[in-house]
């Protein structure tokens, strides 16, 4: 087998506008920070705790559809149309992992 010029080649980087729900802590924060470190424009939703340092934050309760609309509008005004949504908001207190 002969190697071609495209083997192992990476496509050009394209920065995306990303909205991460629940991006102020835990897994959502880790995802948001990694995406920002990789060069993407990242906005995060939070309830009352504020945005993490270096990220654009939008207060939003995802159970309120009007608040979700406002969050998208704020993110779009700050960094352009949202191209990627990471739906991460929510807590689980059912101990499912412990039962596994």
Report how far apart, in Å, the C-alpha atoms of 96 and of each of 11, 21, 100 are.
40, 22, 7
Q: Which position has the higher pLDDT, 12 or 71?
A: 71
At residue 90, the pLDDT reads 80
Q: What is the pTM of this model?
A: 0.80
Task: Report pLDDT digits (tens) over 10-39.
Answer: 888 899 999 999 999 999 999 999 999 999
Domain boundaries, the chain: 17-86
Q: What is the average pLDDT across 74-94? A: 90
Whether residue 60 is predicted with pLDDT greater than 60 in this model: the reply is yes
Nearest Cα residue to 80 out of 88, 90, 72: 72
């Amino acid at each position: 087998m002969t190697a071609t010029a495209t083997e192992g080649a990476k496509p050009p980087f394209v920065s995306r506008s990303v909205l991460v729900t629940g991006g102020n802590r835990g897994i959502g924060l880790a995802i948001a920070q990694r995406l920002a470190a990789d060069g993407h424009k990242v906005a995060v939703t939070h309830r009352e705790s504020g945005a993490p340092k270096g990220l654009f934050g939008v207060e939003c309760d995802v159970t309120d559809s009007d608040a979700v609309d406002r969050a998208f509008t704020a993110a779009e005004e700050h960094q352009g149309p949202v191209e990627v949504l990471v739906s991460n908001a929510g807590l689980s207190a059912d101990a499912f992992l412990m039962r596994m």
